[in-house]
Amino acid sequence: MDWFSRYVISWRLSNSLDADFCVEALEESLESGRPEIFNTDQGAQYTSREFTSTLRSHDIAISMDGRGRAIDNVMIERLWRTVKYEEVYLKEYATGDDCYQGIKNYLHYYDHERRHQSLGRRTPAEVYRNHRQLSL
């Protein structure tokens, strides 16, 4: 997630703690640009050699939340709270694919249609595009 715009750049869904799916999402997000700092929690996926070496190879500073401090990454915590209450808890997914498709559809809505008061009633996609154009 781009913190400035709240735009979800890349995501994956997995039922394991393997780092591969996180590295894939990271590499996909890096196609959109290189942040100065990348913040995560201290999950095994994010502290793995594969994940941290990918960040280091792109000269990205690594920031990790303090242990047990969800508030350190409040933007991501807020996103997943929103996804859960506006999508996941309202559905009964029959399969993992159904869950993936539901979250995919919701995140598209979140980025491109859901207006945020804190963004001046604009969508994350609008703010992200405008900010990127100014940065180029």
Residue range 97-126, pLDDT digits in tens: 999 999 999 999 999 999 999 999 999 999
> Which residue(s) pair with 64 in the sheet?
40
Give 75's pLDDT tier (boundaries 50, 70, 90): confident
pLDDT tens column, 76-98: 889 999 999 999 999 999 999 99
Contact 66, 72 (CB under 8 A): yes
Contact 83, 89 (CB under 8 A): no
User: What pLDDT does residue 69 have?
Assistant: 63
pLDDT tens column, 16-30: 888 999 999 999 999
Domain 20-135: give its CATH superfamily. Ribonuclease H-like superfamily/Ribonuclease H (3.30.420.10)
Among 99, 98, 126, 95, smallest CA distance to 110 is for: 126
| Residues 27-33: contacts with CB under 8 Å, at least 24 apart | 27/54, 30/58, 32/132, 33/132, 33/135
Query: Is 50's pLDDT higher than 90?
Result: yes
Task: Give me the residue spans of the domains in the chain.
Answer: 20-135
Residues 35-47 have a mean pLDDT of 90
Task: For residues 1 and 16, give the distance between their C-alpha atoms in angstroms, rounded to a whole number.
Answer: 21
User: What pLDDT does residue 74 have?
Assistant: 83
Among 65, 77, 13, 66, smallest CA distance to 39 is for: 65
Give the distance between the most distant pair of CA atoms in the chain. Answer: 44
